[in-house]
């Protein structure tokens, strides 16, 4: 059980400030990997919360591997996102104010896995042909990159 899930046992659905990472994992033709989440049925960047003692770079790489089966060996910082637009309530009622560090990396290995215990799909998409709906946090982060 992860750090945030353990906290949830203590605080219930109360808002938590959660630090995490997401990754723009690109393939050889510049498409990005997205996953379709089971909890809200939306497409989003591979992402998750940072565990104690873990760097956010390692979080980005771990979440990509867990959610897609893919690996990136060199991630580069893109931007840090926080504030009111990063407030989110999960379908189960859990509330977070996310501080998400977004990285970019070229896929260097692995085999795309389309389903996991958290995802109902995974695929590569061109930035001008993204699937809908996107998770609110992914939509916000991608919109800020194109602004």
pLDDT in tens, 92-112: 999 999 999 999 999 999 999
> pLDDT value at position 147?
63
**Mean pLDDT calculated for residue range 133-147:** 93
All domains of the chain, ordered by start, with CATH?
Answer: 24-127 (3.90.79.10)
The span from the CA of 51 to the CA of 60, in Å, is: 11
> Which residue's structure tokens are 């609110």?
136
Instruction: Tell me the whole-structure pTM to 2 decimals.
Output: 0.94
> pLDDT value at position 146?
73
* Element containing residue 25 per DSSP (H, E): strand 16-26
For residue 34, pLDDT over 70 is answered with yes
Bridge partners of 17? 97
Mean pLDDT over the full length of the chain = 95
Q: Are strands 16-26 and 95-110 parallel, antiparallel or unpaired?
A: parallel
Selected residue with higher pLDDT from 73 and 29 = 29
Classify residue 129 as exposed, middle or buried by CB count within 10 Å of its CB (0-12, 13-18, 19+). Answer: exposed
Label residue 114 by pLDDT band (50, 70, 90).
Answer: confident
Residue 92 DSSP code: T
Residue 55 DSSP code: -
Q: Are strands 43-44 and 76-81 parallel, antiparallel or unpaired?
A: unpaired
SS3 119: strand
Contacts with 58 (C-beta within 8 Å, 6 or more apart), sequence order: none
For residue 147, which of 60, 86, 79, 96 has the smallest C-alpha distance?
79
Label residue 125 by pLDDT band (50, 70, 90).
Answer: very high
């Amino acid at each position: 059980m992860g750090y945030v899930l353990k906290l949830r046992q203590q605080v219930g659905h109360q808002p938590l400030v959660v630090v995490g990472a997401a990754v723009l994992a690109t393939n050889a033709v510049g498409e990005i990997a997205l996953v379709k989440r089971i909890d809200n049925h939306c497409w989003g960047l591979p992402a998750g919360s940072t565990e104690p003692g873990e760097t956010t770079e390692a979080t980005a790489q771990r979440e990509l591997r867990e959610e897609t089966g893919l690996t990136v060996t060199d991630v580069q910082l893109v931007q840090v996102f926080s504030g009111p637009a990063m407030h989110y309530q999960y379908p189960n009622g859990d509330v977070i104010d996310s501080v998400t560090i977004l990285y970019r990396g070229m896929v260097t290995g692995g085999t795309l896995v389309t389903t996991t215990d958290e995802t109902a799909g995974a695929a590569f998409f061109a930035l001008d042909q993204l699937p809908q709906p996107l998770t609110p946090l992914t939509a916000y982060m991608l919109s800020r990159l194109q602004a």
